[in-house]
Structure 1
Amino acid sequence: MSDSSRTYDVIVLGAGPAGENLADRTRAAGLTSVIVENELLGGECSFWACEPSKALLRPVVARADALRVPGFRRTAEGPLDIPTVFAHRDKIAVNWTDDDQVDWLKSVSVDLVRGHGRLDGPRQVVVETREGDSVRLTARQVVGVATGTVTAFPDVPGLDSVRPWTNREATAASEVPDRLAIVGGGVVAVEMATVWQALGSQVTLLVRGNEVLNRMEPFAGKMVAASLEEAGVDVRFEVTVTEVARRDGPDSPVHITLSTGDSVTADEILIATGRAPHTADIGLETVGLTPGGWLEVDDTYRVKGIEDGWMYAVGDVNHRALMTHQGKYQARIAGAIIGARAQDEPLDTEKWGAHSSTADHTAVPQVVFTDPDVTCVGLTTARAEATGRQVDVVDFDLAHLAGSVQYAEGYRGKARMLLDPERGTVLGVTFVGPGVQELLYSATVAVTTEATVEQLWHAVPAFPTISEVWLRLLEAYRDRAE
Structure 2
Amino acid sequence: MNEAVRNEAPRTYDVIVIGAGPVGENVADRARAAGLSTAIVERELLGGECSYWACDPSKALLRPVLARADARRVPGLRQAVDGPLDVDAVLAHRDKIASYWKDDSQVDWLESVSVDLIRGHGRLDGPKQVAVQTPEGDTVHLTARHAVALCTGTSTALPDIPGLGTVRPWTNREATSAGRVPGRLAVVGGGVVAVEMATAWQALGSQVTMLVRGDGLLERMEPFAGELVAEALREAGVDIRLKTSVASLARAGGAGGEVRIALADGGALAADEILFATGRAPRTADVGLENVGLTPGDWLAVDDTCRVTDVAGGWLYAVGDVSHRALLTHQGKYQARIAGAAIGARAKGEPVDDARWGAHVATADHAAVPQVVFTDPEVASVGLTTREAERTGRRIEVVDYDLARVAGAHLYADGYRGQARMLIDTDRGTVAGVTFVGSGVGELLHSATIAVTGEVPVERLWHAVPAFPTISEVWLRLLETYRDQQQPSRS
**2:50 & 2:428 partners in 1: Cα distance?**
38
Match of 1:90 in 2: 95
Match of 1:235 in 2: 240
Alignment of 1:150-161 (within 5 A): 150-161=155-166
CA contact 2:430–2:458 (8 Å) conserved in 1:
yes
Question: Deviations along 1:243-276, whole A, 9 cap, x unmatched?
Answer: 0001322321000011111111000000100000
Sequence identity, in percent? Answer: 70
The one-letter amino acid of 2:480's match is E
| 1:3 Cα deviation after fit | 4.3
| 1:358 Cα deviation after fit | 1.5
**Aligned: 1:343 with 2:348:** yes
**Aligned: 1:185 with 2:204:** no
SS in 2 for 1:306: coil
Match of 1:10 in 2: 15
Match of 1:145 in 2: 150
CA contact 1:34–1:113 (8 Å) conserved in 2:
yes
| 1:422 Cα deviation after fit | 2.6
Match of 1:331 in 2: 336
Match of 2:59 in 1: 54
Match of 1:128 in 2: 133
SS in 2 for 1:307: coil
Match of 1:290 in 2: 295
The one-letter amino acid of 2:237's match is G
SS in 1 for 2:233: helix
Structure 2 unaligned regions, length at least 5: 1-5
Alignment of 1:303-322 (within 5 A): 303-322=308-327
**Aligned: 1:258 with 2:263:** yes
Q: 145, 166, 171: which is aligned to 1:166?
A: 171
**2:317 & 2:102 partners in 1: Cα distance?**
28
Question: Deviations along 1:277-319, whole A, 9 cap, x unmatched?
Answer: 0000011001100000101101111101111111001100100
Match of 1:219 in 2: 224
Alignment of 1:58-69 (within 5 A): 58-69=63-74
Q: 201, 207, 213: which is aligned to 1:208?
A: 213
Match of 1:113 in 2: 118
The one-letter amino acid of 2:268's match is S
SS in 1 for 2:313: helix
TM-score by length of 2: 0.97
Root-mean-square deviation (Å): 0.8
Question: Deviations along 1:19-52, whole A, 9 cap, x unmatched?
Answer: 0000000010110000000000000000000000
Question: Deviations along 1:44-93, whole A, 9 cap, x unmatched?
Answer: 00000000000000000000000000001111111100000001101100
Match of 2:203 in 1: 198
Q: 468, 471, 475: which is aligned to 1:470?
A: 475
SS in 2 for 1:469: helix
| 1:2 Cα deviation after fit | 3.5
The one-letter amino acid of 2:258's match is P
Question: Deviations along 1:192-234, whole A, 9 cap, x unmatched?
Answer: 0000000000000000001110000000000001110000000
| 1:423 Cα deviation after fit | 2.2
Q: 394, 408, 415: which is aligned to 2:413?
A: 408
Match of 2:3 in 1: none
**1:327 & 1:468 partners in 2: Cα distance?**
31
CA contact 2:151–2:318 (8 Å) conserved in 1:
yes
**1:386 & 1:164 partners in 2: Cα distance?**
36
**Aligned: 1:39 with 2:44:** yes
Question: Deviations along 1:416-465, whole A, 9 cap, x unmatched?
Answer: 00001132200000000000000000000000011111010000000000
**1:405 & 1:244 partners in 2: Cα distance?**
47
| 1:5 Cα deviation after fit | 1.9
CA contact 2:262–2:268 (8 Å) conserved in 1:
yes
**1:3 & 1:179 partners in 2: Cα distance?**
53
CA contact 2:395–2:427 (8 Å) conserved in 1:
no
| 1:4 Cα deviation after fit | 4.1
SS in 2 for 1:298: coil
SS in 2 for 1:290: coil
**2:113 & 2:252 partners in 1: Cα distance?**
53
**2:199 & 2:326 partners in 1: Cα distance?**
24
SS in 2 for 1:376: strand
**1:2 & 1:427 partners in 2: Cα distance?**
54
The one-letter amino acid of 2:29's match is D
CA contact 1:4–1:134 (8 Å) conserved in 2:
no
The one-letter amino acid of 1:435's match is G
Match of 1:376 in 2: 381
SS in 2 for 1:2: coil
Structure 1 unaligned regions, length at least 5: none
Question: Deviations along 1:377-427, whole A, 9 cap, x unmatched?
Answer: 000000011111111000000000110000000000000000011322000
Q: 154, 176, 189: which is aligned to 2:181?
A: 176
CA contact 1:3–1:133 (8 Å) conserved in 2:
no
The one-letter amino acid of 2:23's match is A
**2:430 & 2:420 partners in 1: Cα distance?**
17
Question: Deviations along 1:158-181, whole A, 9 cap, x unmatched?
Answer: 000100000000000010000000
The alpha-carbon distance between structure 1 residues 180 and 4, as it changes in their structure 2 partners (threshold 3 A), is: farther
SS in 1 for 2:152: coil
**1:36 & 1:448 partners in 2: Cα distance?**
34
The one-letter amino acid of 2:333's match is K
Match of 2:282 in 1: 277
